[in-house]
Structure 1
């Protein structure tokens, strides 16, 4: 029993839908998500503890309680033994890039504290759910581009002159450390996992909320801050993830994993249940047909593009097949990622290429 007399259970959370200018209708029409407005939607924030957009529990004894309050009241039952923190550390979203996102970056931790007065920055990863043939993403600065050349190209809005353009397709994942200039779209549907933050600097002459123009003075101020935060050495690539067979017709794919978050995709092609054990909170998002989710005595259906937050205290979950689901979480890298993958015969450098090595390189660059 937790400190406030309520055993934690799988939490359904309120969703924030954002109608930004690059959005469309794919989250509702392609993924099948219900309960969102019937107009152009760019993002749905599935599990958020970002100030101003904090998710609220929508069912059970904790209904009406904010995610931040649940963290404060039940830190170890939610996050695992020994955990403490002021907010839930992981943010997840569905993103419909019907149009191209603005070119932008998010500060890393050190820069966010030094320049923005924020407790942390925002490293993120994109898992591509669907993409048109030939879809691409801008991600990182080309080799040899100097700060002066980058600024001149951003002023001219000549992004391809200085930024790396990557082909992306369904199933790819791109791990994007803080400080990396990036954009993706058009015609790209993404599940995004990231640090809990909405910190960002844009390189566009228009506002993503409504498309209105950004004046010269404001644009110059944005570029001043962006140039103080950009990592000229960042060069992420798209990866297919690392697969482990977990039964007949079932697989567990480690899509990305670093110190801030990990993301896995579990698929089962038969009615045989998927079973997943865990020691830290899991953000479970369904990217397939409706499934039945069981943990302990709790059992409910999880519909298309719906999300559950599974507290650490649950410990295990069973999902009826066929199933196609995502698990996002704050990992103990040795226990949750390296252990299972090393046991399956994956070499450590390949495992760390899912994200840990990218963050180590970024930290080294900042320390030099």
Structure 2
């Protein structure tokens, strides 16, 4: 592959993860190729980590890894971000059929305490489906201190009532369409009955505060990291609620900006009619939440199918979206 060859829109083979809290909706709703098991938890759509490196699924670049694309086609792929040695974002779909652990991620500065190359992990969730009464935890009640959270964790770990801990957490119901921005340092957990898209920094740094009493087939619980979790928690943040989308429009259609932070920008488009996306020397990622269509670019076209993810390299030039039916997509870029 030559740096001078323009890169077409890229689709990668999903990396499917089976975890005890998963379900089957990655297959039944989003069309992923799952087996007969009932614990499919995550579909890593775009990943660039040593043990989890996305591979191009089809076309002339089939079998090429994202790491190889970063080396050989960095400027064509990343444009103004071509100085990066690692793709900056990790893109997933998640099916939470049970509660995930109560956890927290460090910010960039704290992450480096655990390894010189480590990054923090700021993320956001866009809810695709939520069962009636489905809840999440995002943030702590206002004024909760490190000492109070430690006491609550010690109480449940020694067999105490879970209510003491839950009384410190900001827990609420979510519904389809909600977007929750989770900055690094925010205590959080996904509840059962939620299917979502997740956009985050390219990091897997996670510290677990509590695992709801779950034990594995061997009768042993997963590791808990209370000291590291408390060290990485931002106790000044308080409760974190769903974002209020910013309504935007261009000459062709209206759309929503869900999140704009130093790591990523997430916009949601829904339309029956064709529209264009700006091309400004940066890559874009399209996640199709519902409907179907076609994305047309200067370097090639690609299908937009529900549950699919397309990476549009910076060299793609013009971007035209052609819906076949009512189409809802997330447009993800770096600021």
Structure-1-length-normalised TM-score = 0.81
Flag the structure with higher helix content: 1
Between stretches 114-123 and 49-58, larger displacement belongs to: 114-123
Gaps of at least 5 residues in structure 1 are 332-368
Alignment of 1:63-142 (within 5 A): 63-81=62-80, 83-142=82-141
**Structure 1 residue 245 displacement after superposition:** 3.7
- Aligned partners of 1:20 and 1:208 also within 8 Å: no
C-alpha offsets along residues 281-326 of structure 1, whole Å, 9 cap, x if unaligned? 1111111122122112622322221111100111232222231111
Q: Specify whether residues 151 and 324 from structure 1 end up closer, same or farther in structure 2 by C-alpha distance, changes over 3 A only.
A: same
1:338 corresponds to = none
C-alpha separation between the residues in 2 aligned to 1:91 and 1:209? 28
- Aligned partners of 2:170 and 2:240 also within 8 Å: no
C-alpha separation between the residues in 2 aligned to 1:60 and 1:283? 18
C-alpha separation between the residues in 2 aligned to 1:112 and 1:214? 28
Q: Specify whether residues 245 and 223 from structure 1 end up closer, same or farther in structure 2 by C-alpha distance, changes over 3 A only.
A: same
Indicate which of 174, 178, 186 corresponds to 1:172. 178
C-alpha offsets along residues 217-275 of structure 1, whole Å, 9 cap, x if unaligned? x54xx112212211112232212411224467x4311111100111111110x3x2121
Indicate which of 236, 261, 265 corresponds to 1:262. 265
**Structure 1 residue 49 displacement after superposition:** 0.9
2:247 corresponds to = 243
C-alpha separation between the residues in 2 aligned to 1:96 and 1:259? 27
**Structure 1 residue 116 displacement after superposition:** 4.3
1:230 corresponds to = 233
Gaps of at least 5 residues in structure 2 are 157-161
**Structure 1 residue 98 displacement after superposition:** 1.5
Structure-2-length-normalised TM-score = 0.89
- Aligned partners of 1:138 and 1:166 also within 8 Å: yes
Q: Specify whether residues 308 and 162 from structure 1 end up closer, same or farther in structure 2 by C-alpha distance, changes over 3 A only.
A: same
C-alpha separation between the residues in 2 aligned to 1:316 and 1:192? 26
C-alpha separation between the residues in 2 aligned to 1:282 and 1:264? 11
- Corresponding residue SS for 2:290: coil
C-alpha separation between the residues in 1 aligned to 2:110 and 2:220? 24
1:57 corresponds to = 56
2:311 corresponds to = 309
